Amino acid sequence: MKHFLTRILIFLLIIPLWLVIILSDLFKKAWYSYRRYLAIKKAPKILDWIKTQNLPLDTADGFELPYYLSRIDVLGFVEALHTFNDCYCIIIKLQVGLRTDFQGILYCNSPLSSQDFGKGYDDCDCIHIPGRYSSEYRYSFKNLVIIKRYNNHLFEVNYHPFNSECYHPIN
């Protein structure tokens, strides 16, 4: 009888814990989907604001977003690139890991060229935009694994330090 009661007690403790884990995972997925929706919707406005910041050609930098745009990015901070051919690109980070890894949205005001795309070590599609980067932003626009391609301007991307050597240009 004692073992039976112990099993019932353990069962009654495990079920709520299991429900909490499932519900928190569902909430996390729903929150990410909502932030992704906002990022896709507001990316042109963020890019228009970045253009007013006078970023020099062929450089990348980080910008703290104004309050009305700051709730889109996880940190209220966006990284921008102004390429040598006058294309602006931004990365809106939706999820940030422990180190430099992130998942987010890459948005550019003009289509990326074929030289910006490559294949990864697992035959995954990668984006690698050339440019002169300061050490702080050197990974932001290189070796991005494409999760979803919405069009030639908009991508959902993932960066992880272990992907840093995944880029091989398409011939």
pLDDT grade for 166, boundaries at 50, 70 and 90: low
pLDDT per residue over 136-157, tens digit each? 666 678 888 899 999 989 999 9
In this prediction the pTM is 0.81
pLDDT per residue over 77-128, tens digit each? 899 998 888 899 999 999 887 777 889 999 999 998 888 888 776 778 888 8
SS3 of the chain: CHHHHHHHHHHHHHHHHHHHHHHHHHHHHHHHHHHHHHHHHHHHHHHHHHHCCCCCCCEEEEEECCHHHHCCCCCCEEEEEECCCCCEEEEEEEEECCCCCEEEEEEECCCCCHHHEEECCCCCEEECCCCECCHHHCCCCCCEEEEEECCCCEEEEEECHHHCCCCEECC
What residue has token string 């009305």?
68
pLDDT grade for 171, boundaries at 50, 70 and 90: very low
